[in-house]
Chain A
């Protein structure tokens, strides 16, 4: 195999290795065949053009052409000539596929089925990357740049599905990159001809270079230090990825056409809110003058990642729905929703849908298992909306801890910082009843306390996103709702997050709900009353938000939130943020006090891990010194003392103080070298050398009693003779330690080479084989 073909192979294989993280976002392994086909086709095209002796320009053209032909063959939609020549119609078809793919990426949650638009996008992307990769590694011989292509390849799954991409997926791309660099370097070095070891011996190209040892030690130390620091200092790396992921929120093409996939409500919500061109999803006609939110999902399973919907397992029949109060009727026309839950108002009492739909007894979510909203073009809902008097809520008792609702809806991960914050809020407000607690937290999250609505969330470097939100005070409904529910759970109030749609805009007797109306809010369980809805998100941020009258504090009037009962006629304008209540109205001095109290609580809280980390980092430079002095004590201590151990110490001392000694020196020569450099050491080093000579060569053993003293004398003499910097170095960074470490590394490398030499399979090299450079004919 020629060098270039070898490099081509490495380029293709390394890229294939980097594709492994895609396994996290695709369902099954069916995607690997077409994707690897792309890599192979590009590599073969480039390689053929190269072996024909053509330049880089033609090589790139050949690879592009090969990619085009392959893509045309696989995705022509019947528009191509002879299956391989694309026509303008083919490109139009591709554009459509791209639109579908982007839409699917936005709305679907991994793992997804690899077909249609997503597969097209993936193959096209991999193809382009493969061409660049091949150019960097083989054509332009700049393998370092291949890191960019590999990184691009890695970032795709990471940004599309940060959760599905575990950290260890990074290992293979990293190994691939190192392989590329290492192989290129080997090729570069081999071109100069024979290689020599440090001792001037001719070796084959696979023999580790003496410099490699230093590089490996440096690398290992660096990685270890980094890992240690990472383990100690709380660092969140999700920020970058989050921001990259948000960049994928925009796209084109009509929504809702995507395939039926496993939709993540949060991804759907976030994707819809970030969409620059909202599209209509529902058209509703209702006799309710003030419709509230259309509830879809209930997220009541709380993990460190936040709230997620549980499994809507055993569904009760729709017939089980009932309820009192005034019944409204809504006609809902589905324009674009594809989900397995039904958007409904308030408490539905009757729904005009078939048996395939049912109601989840725990959450009240109307869901289906086999069917989908896609198959529902319109439906009728009869429902009641309950209004609660603040007085009734305030009087409601706490929920008994034995209640299954309590247990299920107060479970939360242990985040000490959050517990502390909630305790602070509760202590500050003196809240005791459920309702007081709810109001205290609503207060805390109000704009008066500095919380602002923003679709751009910031990363403050905390491990938990909820802490980021509390610190940056910037977020949208997802953060608001999840944080409020979590804080309530911390305060032992059962709470959960509901995800759905706001009422939309009103015109001509019809409410039009668009993709920008996706919203999340909170449901709190009151003992004896049931689930009550609250919305902590500032109303100016939410298109067509609704205020709940019971969310105001009973003692105060002129509430901080919007007046209830917005006239349908006004509704279209409520989408505009400027129409919302002003911040001044919501100003509450208590919020600031709470913030101060929280800050104070933080300062008191124990030893900051950052300090520990700093201490550890500061201790690192002293490790060699400690190690070295431990070694000295053990060698000269009565238990291990021998002429040999004292001699080891002698040699190391000499090396520490900068004397150059070689292992081909006999003890006498070593002693002579030391005393030539520092004449004052003559006597001590002479005694040590003759002791080791006797011990080693006379067969009679040596008298060791005077050796520790001699070693101490030697050290003192060397110390006196050395300059200031040399003394400091000998103390802190003893050269002998590094020497011994290097030696061990070298021995390990030699052992590895020996093992490789014994391996049954032959090792190939770039330089035309190892056999030519063993030195002997």
Chain B
């Protein structure tokens, strides 16, 4: 079965890539995805960075801006097993994780793996599922394994969940609990395309769905190697300090009821490493951290009631924090 073969594949990997190779591969994936979603290259870049940081991505936006397109395009660009789960209110946890059913021929229970056993999981409209089902998925995301009837099944590697959801204000949704939002490395909003991108889109979509024509540009092995490469990117002490300063600023901010967790610091720097590698560098820069701060931190903060009532959102709080945290904490230095 597919989920058993993954350890064997990892053995064959021939070590990390050079910065140039990394950059080239990343560019290839990006170009591929951009062919489907026009004019959103920074968002795609961040999505890829989350993927290469072994994180999970939450795409949150209004319907119809291309959340599912992005997730699908990203998945198709990599030649690995892709599973899609359409979350609906009647979806059960066992549909996600799998179930043991009785095989009358063998006279025994046989495990039927659920949708979670793939490299890339697309969880569409995750906030339409009941909290019970959401919880099942989120547990898998954190532990990268599934335990059913006393048996523990390891999930594949690489493993990444790309979930989409509509903004919580929309009707018929079950918003993700705060603790579960923390499991997602980053939350991205795609936003409406600009006029030119929308025109280009109309032209492309005229004949065929570009998604259908998308070809994979790399395989799961390469992704594994890229992940290993990104992990070796140098993090200077100043940069670590900068990340800690930012995260602790979210904890002391007057508009925030609950700040970001230490897990957020870890994931912020992990993604920063990927961004640096995607730029062909073997060391990360504060610029990388700055690009990631809003996607990685904003969805983890819980604003005070006053902020919510005043129409403030956590993304603008993080952006504001980024404008005030000095890049170098040593006084008198810049």
Q: Name, among A200, A202, A696, the residue most crowded by chain B CB atoms within 10 Å (CB to CB).
A: A696
Which residues of chain B in 258-306 are interfacial with respect to chain A, using CB atoms and an 8 Å cutoff?
A: 282-287, 290, 304
Tell me whether B334 and A698 are in contact (CB under 8 A): no
Tell me whether A776 and B285 are in contact (CB under 8 A): no
Instruction: List B contacts of A720 (CB < 8 A).
Output: none
**Measured CA separation A696–B234 after assembly (Å):** 11
**Measured CA separation A661–B284 after assembly (Å):** 22
Q: Which residue from B253, B282, B333, B334 sits with its C-beta under 8 Å from A670?
A: B334
Tell me whether B287 and A666 are in contact (CB under 8 A): yes
Instruction: List B contacts of A740 (CB < 8 A).
Output: 332
Q: Name, among B323, B326, B334, the residue most crowded by chain A CB atoms within 10 Å (CB to CB).
A: B334
Given A648-B333, A663-B327, is A668 in contact with B234 using a C-beta cutoff of 8 Å? Answer: no
Tell me whether A647 and B236 are in contact (CB under 8 A): no
**Measured CA separation A200–B320 after assembly (Å):** 10
Tell me whether B238 and A697 are in contact (CB under 8 A): yes
Instruction: List A contacts of B304 (CB < 8 A).
Output: 777
Nearest chain B residue, comparing its CB with the CB of A776: B254
**Measured CA separation A744–B331 after assembly (Å):** 8
Question: Is B65 interfacial (CB-CB < 8 Å)?
Answer: no
- Whole-angstrom distance between the Cβ of B250 and the nearest chain A Cβ: 12
Q: Which residue from A200, A202, A661 sits with its C-beta under 8 Å from B334?
A: A661
**Measured CA separation A698–B234 after assembly (Å):** 7
Which residues of chain A in 666-690 are interfacial with respect to chain B, using CB atoms and an 8 Å cutoff?
A: 666-670
Q: Name, among A200, A662, A697, A747, the residue most crowded by chain B CB atoms within 10 Å (CB to CB).
A: A697
Nearest chain A residue, comparing its CB with the CB of B304: A777
Given A644-B333, A697-B239, A699-B236, is A663 in contact with B283 using a C-beta cutoff of 8 Å? Answer: no
Tell me whether B325 and A664 are in contact (CB under 8 A): yes
Tell me whether A662 and B333 are in contact (CB under 8 A): no
Instruction: List B contacts of A744 (CB < 8 A).
Output: 332
Nearest chain B residue, comparing its CB with the CB of A665: B327
Tell me whether A697 and B283 are in contact (CB under 8 A): yes
Tell me whether B323 and A693 are in contact (CB under 8 A): no
- Whole-angstrom distance between the Cβ of B271 and the nearest chain A Cβ: 16
Q: Which residue from B234, B257, B327, B333 sits with its C-beta under 8 Å from A664?
A: B327
Question: Is A322 interfacial (CB-CB < 8 Å)?
Answer: no
Tell me whether A698 and B327 are in contact (CB under 8 A): no
Question: Is A201 interfacial (CB-CB < 8 Å)?
Answer: yes
**Measured CA separation A351–B283 after assembly (Å):** 107
Tell me whether B332 and A698 are in contact (CB under 8 A): no
**Measured CA separation A777–B332 after assembly (Å):** 33
Question: Is A27 interfacial (CB-CB < 8 Å)?
Answer: no
Instruction: List A contacts of B285 (CB < 8 A).
Output: 666, 668, 693, 697
Tell me whether A665 and B332 are in contact (CB under 8 A): no
Binary CB contact string for chain A from 185 to 228 against chain B (1 if under 8 A, 0 otherwise): 00000000000000111100000000000000000000000000
**Measured CA separation A321–B8 after assembly (Å):** 132
Nearest chain B residue, comparing its CB with the CB of A668: B287
Question: Is A651 interfacial (CB-CB < 8 Å)?
Answer: yes
Instruction: List B contacts of A703 (CB < 8 A).
Output: none
Tell me whether A665 and B254 are in contact (CB under 8 A): no
Tell me whether B331 and A747 are in contact (CB under 8 A): yes
Instruction: List A contacts of B290 (CB < 8 A).
Output: 666
Question: Is A362 interfacial (CB-CB < 8 Å)?
Answer: no
**Measured CA separation A165–B285 after assembly (Å):** 65
Instruction: List B contacts of A661 (CB < 8 A).
Output: 334
Tell me whether B254 and A647 are in contact (CB under 8 A): no
Tell me whether B327 and A666 are in contact (CB under 8 A): yes
Tell me whether B238 and A696 are in contact (CB under 8 A): yes
Question: Is A57 interfacial (CB-CB < 8 Å)?
Answer: no
Tell me whether A662 and B238 are in contact (CB under 8 A): no
Instruction: List B contacts of A663 (CB < 8 A).
Output: 326-328, 334
Question: Is A743 interfacial (CB-CB < 8 Å)?
Answer: yes
Tell me whether B254 and A699 are in contact (CB under 8 A): no
Tell me whether B325 and A699 are in contact (CB under 8 A): no
Tell me whether A698 and B283 are in contact (CB under 8 A): yes
Instruction: List B contacts of A528 (CB < 8 A).
Output: none
Tell me whether A669 and B287 are in contact (CB under 8 A): yes
Instruction: List B contacts of A200 (CB < 8 A).
Output: 320, 324
Tell me whether A647 and B287 are in contact (CB under 8 A): no
Q: Which residue from A199, A644, A651 sits with its C-beta under 8 Å from B324?
A: A199
Question: Is A775 interfacial (CB-CB < 8 Å)?
Answer: yes
Question: Is B163 interfacial (CB-CB < 8 Å)?
Answer: no
**Measured CA separation A775–B322 after assembly (Å):** 19
Question: Is B252 interfacial (CB-CB < 8 Å)?
Answer: yes
**Measured CA separation A747–B326 after assembly (Å):** 14
Nearest chain A residue, comparing its CB with the CB of B305: A777
Instruction: List B contacts of A202 (CB < 8 A).
Output: 254
Q: Which residue from B234, B252, B286, B327 sits with its C-beta under 8 Å from A699?
A: B234
Instruction: List A contacts of B334 (CB < 8 A).
Output: 647-648, 651, 661, 663, 665, 667, 670
**Measured CA separation A696–B239 after assembly (Å):** 9
Nearest chain B residue, comparing its CB with the CB of A740: B332
- Whole-angstrom distance between the Cβ of A777 and the nearest chain B Cβ: 8
Which residues of chain B in 194-247 are interfacial with respect to chain A, using CB atoms and an 8 Å cutoff?
A: 234, 236, 238-239
Instruction: List B contacts of A697 (CB < 8 A).
Output: 234, 236, 238-239, 283-286
Nearest chain B residue, comparing its CB with the CB of A747: B331
- Whole-angstrom distance between the Cβ of A665 and the nearest chain B Cβ: 7
- Whole-angstrom distance between the Cβ of B191 and the nearest chain A Cβ: 23
- Whole-angstrom distance between the Cβ of B24 and the nearest chain A Cβ: 21
- Whole-angstrom distance between the Cβ of B42 and the nearest chain A Cβ: 16
Instruction: List B contacts of A696 (CB < 8 A).
Output: 236, 238, 328
**Measured CA separation A663–B333 after assembly (Å):** 8
Nearest chain B residue, comparing its CB with the CB of A773: B254
Instruction: List B contacts of A670 (CB < 8 A).
Output: 334
Nearest chain B residue, comparing its CB with the CB of A651: B334
Q: Name, among B234, B236, B238, B286, the residue most crowded by chain A CB atoms within 10 Å (CB to CB).
A: B286
Instruction: List A contacts of B283 (CB < 8 A).
Output: 697-699
Instruction: List A contacts of B324 (CB < 8 A).
Output: 199-200, 664
**Measured CA separation A644–B253 after assembly (Å):** 31
**Measured CA separation A201–B325 after assembly (Å):** 12
Nearest chain A residue, comparing its CB with the CB of B256: A776
Nearest chain B residue, comparing its CB with the CB of A654: B334
**Measured CA separation A649–B295 after assembly (Å):** 34
**Measured CA separation A693–B285 after assembly (Å):** 7
Given A201-B254, A696-B238, A697-B239, is A743 in contact with B333 using a C-beta cutoff of 8 Å? Answer: no
- Whole-angstrom distance between the Cβ of A237 and the nearest chain B Cβ: 41
- Whole-angstrom distance between the Cβ of A648 and the nearest chain B Cβ: 7
- Whole-angstrom distance between the Cβ of B321 and the nearest chain A Cβ: 9
Given A202-B254, A648-B333, A743-B331, is A662 in contact with B323 using a C-beta cutoff of 8 Å? Answer: yes
- Whole-angstrom distance between the Cβ of A295 and the nearest chain B Cβ: 73
Instruction: List B contacts of A201 (CB < 8 A).
Output: 254
Binary CB contact string for chain B from 25 to 47 against chain A (1 if under 8 A, 0 otherwise): 00000000000000000000000
**Measured CA separation A699–B237 after assembly (Å):** 9
Instruction: List A contacts of B284 (CB < 8 A).
Output: 697
Instruction: List B contacts of A698 (CB < 8 A).
Output: 234, 236, 282-283
**Measured CA separation A665–B236 after assembly (Å):** 17
**Measured CA separation A115–B46 after assembly (Å):** 87
**Measured CA separation A747–B334 after assembly (Å):** 15
- Whole-angstrom distance between the Cβ of B279 and the nearest chain A Cβ: 11
Instruction: List A contacts of B236 (CB < 8 A).
Output: 696-699
18 A-B contacts (beta carbon < 8 Å): A199-B324, A200-B324, A648-B333, A648-B334, A651-B334, A661-B334, A663-B326, A666-B286, A667-B334, A669-B287, A697-B234, A697-B236, A697-B238, A697-B239, A697-B286, A698-B282, A744-B332, A777-B257
- Residues of A with Cβ closer than 8 Å to B? 199-202, 644, 647-648, 651, 661-670, 693, 696-699, 740, 743-744, 747, 775-777
Additional A-B contacts beyond A698-B236, A699-B283, A743-B331 (10; CB < 8 A): A200-B320, A647-B334, A664-B326, A666-B286, A667-B334, A670-B334, A696-B236, A699-B234, A775-B253, A777-B257
What 8 pairs between A and B have smallest CB-CB spacing? A775-B254, A663-B326, A698-B283, A666-B286, A697-B236, A651-B334, A666-B287, A699-B234
